[in-house]
Amino acid sequence: MALPTETVYGLAGDATSASAIARIFAAKGRPTNHPVIVHLPDQSHVDRWAVDTPQWATDLMSQVWPGPLTVIVPRAPSVLDAVTGGQSTVGLRVPAHPLTLEVLGQLDTGVAAPSANRYGRVSPTTAVHVVAELSAHLDPERDLVLDGGPCPVGVESTIIGAWDDVPRLLRPGAVTTQRVASITGRQPVTTSSGVRAPGTTATHYSPSANVVAIERDDLEATLEDLPGDKKVGVIALADVDTSAQPVTRLSSPGDQEEYAQTLYAALHQADISGMEIVIAVLPPPGGLGAAIRDRLRRAAAAERAVQ
């Protein structure tokens, strides 16, 4: 079943069922040793899944949940290896979406839900994108897509590792490191090693078009260097003017929030309209900018990797 969350749509199944998780991995085409996030109806469920949760992480959960935050904590012994990828930790999150909270509340269990895209591709932020991406890999008799409208945040949750005294930032998202620091009194440390986390590999979040992620100051030079025979799309904040250029504007968000909200739809649109190159002008790094810059750099790295 695909479920809406405030970040992106998830491909969901009972986190206590090995066969449900196997079907999720098969539909995504994802390596089975990658861990998945367990979605909970509320924080009172944490102790069924985790042991020795640090107090600072409990504080963080109670301030931010429901919300776009995943906390990676030491796992309870009963948690399936299929959920944790065989690691000693489990990722937990209470999403802020009324429909999905209702489903989770009625199931009264944890729901494993990676983003509802094929492995390595752009996450879906509408039900239509889920169907376009996965319908060939779902069973029309058994699998539902719950349409909760466009996801209001638009990029995946912030992931914080919480297995010792230090908050580890594993993936930037709408919950900023500043917010984590102010709630916990501890400065998060950016960490990339030691865990298998597909959304944190250098290449990910990639459409078919060749993504070029640039700073605003480099736009003019980049446009001058473009091969004349390619279909080029541009994603940039509204105050970046490209109207005099031979390019298609894919999105013109007014601020960071709108940039995040519309980013994956713009990348999907690039594929639908046959763009060969997408120039993404990176927003400033503050607030949601860190998450947007992270995803765009990974999308751009994926293109370099396949060339």
Q: Which residues bind ligand TXA (CB under 6 A)?
A: 5, 7-8, 10, 34-37, 70, 72, 84, 87, 89-91, 93, 95, 113-115, 156-157, 159, 195-200
| Smallest separation, CB 30 to Mg ion (Å) | 8
CB 91 within 8 A of CB 36: yes
The Cα angle at residue 114 between residues 120 and 33, in degrees rounded to 5:
75
DSSP type of residue 216: G
The interface partner of residue 95, options being Mg ion, ligand TXA, none and the CB cut-off 5 to 8 Å by kind, is ligand TXA
Q: Which does 90 bind (CB under 5 to 8 A by kind): Mg ion, ligand TXA, none?
A: ligand TXA
As a whole number of angstroms, the distance between CA 270 and CA 257 comes to 20
Bridge partners of 111, per DSSP, are 14, 39
Report if residue 199 touches Mg ion, rule: CB under 5 A. Answer: yes
Closer by beta carbon to Mg ion, 116 or else 300: 116
Partner from Mg ion, ligand TXA, none contacting 211, C-beta within 5 to 8 A by type: none
User: Nearest distance from residue 20's CB to ligand TXA, in Å?
Assistant: 15
The count of other CB atoms within 10 Å of the CB of residue 174 is: 25
Residue 79 CB, nearest distance to ligand TXA (Å)?
9
Q: Tell me the C-alpha to C-alpha distance, in Å, between residue 220 and each of 54, 55, 100.
A: 49, 50, 44
Based on CB atoms, which residue is closest to Mg ion, 40 or 197? 197
CA angle 145, 147, 152 (to 5 degrees): 125
C-alpha span between 287 and 178 (Å, rounded): 9
* CB of 113 vs ligand TXA, minimal distance in Å: 5
Enter the DSSP assignment of 122.
P
- Within residues 109-128, the interface with Mg ion by CB under 5 A covers 115
* Residue 197 interacts with, from Mg ion, ligand TXA, none (CB under 5-8 Å by kind): ligand TXA
Cα 249 to Cα 267: distance, rounded to the nearest angstrom? 12
Residue ranges in contact with Mg ion by CB under 5 A: 115, 199
